[in-house]
Structure 1
C-alpha cells in the first residue's frame, strides 16, 4: 500500500506518528510494540481541535539521558521489534547522525543527539515505522515539504530556520519556504 502526505504546515515526528494513528493504527498496539524498546516513557493520545479534529500524541519521558548514535542503535538492536522496523530505524538515526556530523564538521561518532536523543524522538521515529508496517504502507509520497523561517533556540545555541540538519536531510527533495516565523519541519519529521 502507498500513502500520500499533504505537508501543508510542515512535519515533525510526533505529528507524523499521530497522523498514522488517525489513519487507523491502534494506539494500544503501538504502545505494546514500543514497550519492546525497554525505555521508560508514558504516551498519551488525544483527539483535539476546534473546527477540524485530529489526533495529538504526547510522549512523557521518565529518563533524561542524552544518547549518541551507538546508544540508540543498541536500544533498537536489543529490542524484540521486527527486523524490518529495526533496520529502517537504524538507517533513519544514522541518516540524522550523518546530517548532524556534516553540519557541525565532526565525525559521526562524536554526534550527541541532545534533543534528538531523547525518548520522545526514539518513540516518534520507531513508532512511525511500527505504524507504517502495521498499516501495510511500503511507499510514501508527499507534497513539497513546507519549512518556516526565523531563528530557533536549541542545545547548540541559536540556529536559523529551517535548521541546517533539516535542510541536509531534505537535500534533493522538493521544499517550499513559507513566511511562517517558526520551525514547522523538524529534523525528525524530515527524516
Structure 2
C-alpha cells in the first residue's frame, strides 16, 4: 500500500504544476490534461487525487500559502537566533508576500489569481479569508512582543496596527507587480510604514 508521504508528494506535485501554469499563462491555462502533462503524470492519476478542478485549485492555493508561511517561520527563527530586532524580522517576513524577485512574483500572481476566483467560490474564499486572518494575527503578535522589548509604544493598538500593515503590504504588492522596477522603493516604503509602529529601540537582547 502506498505510504501517506507518497500521497502527499503526488498532491504537492500536482499543486506545483497548477501554480506553474497560472504563473506562466494564467488561470485559463489550467485544465486537468495540462496539469497532468506539466506534472509528468497521467490524467487519471490527477483525477484520482482531485476529482474536480476546484479541488485541485483549492489544494494549490493552500500549498502556496503554506510555502510562504514556512519561509516566514524560518525567518522568525533565524531572527531570534541572530538577535535581530522585531521590526527587522517583521519587515523581512512581510516582504515574503511581495513580488520582489522571480519566485515571489510567480507566487504573487498565483495568490492574486486565486483571490479573484475566491470572489465567486466559497471554498477558495474561506482559504483566502483564513490566510488574511493569519497574517494579521502574526503582525499583531509582533506588535505585542514589541511592547515587551521597548520597540512599540504601550499606547499602540495591535489589531489596528496589524490591519494597517497588512493592507499596506497588499497594496505595495499590487503596485510592485505592475511596476517591478520599483523594488527598492517598495522595500523602503514597507520599512517606513513599520517604523511608524516600531518607534523604539529593542531591549530584548540587552543591547
TM-score by length of 2: 0.27
More RCO (CA 8 Å, sep 6+):
1
Name the structure with the higher strand share.
1
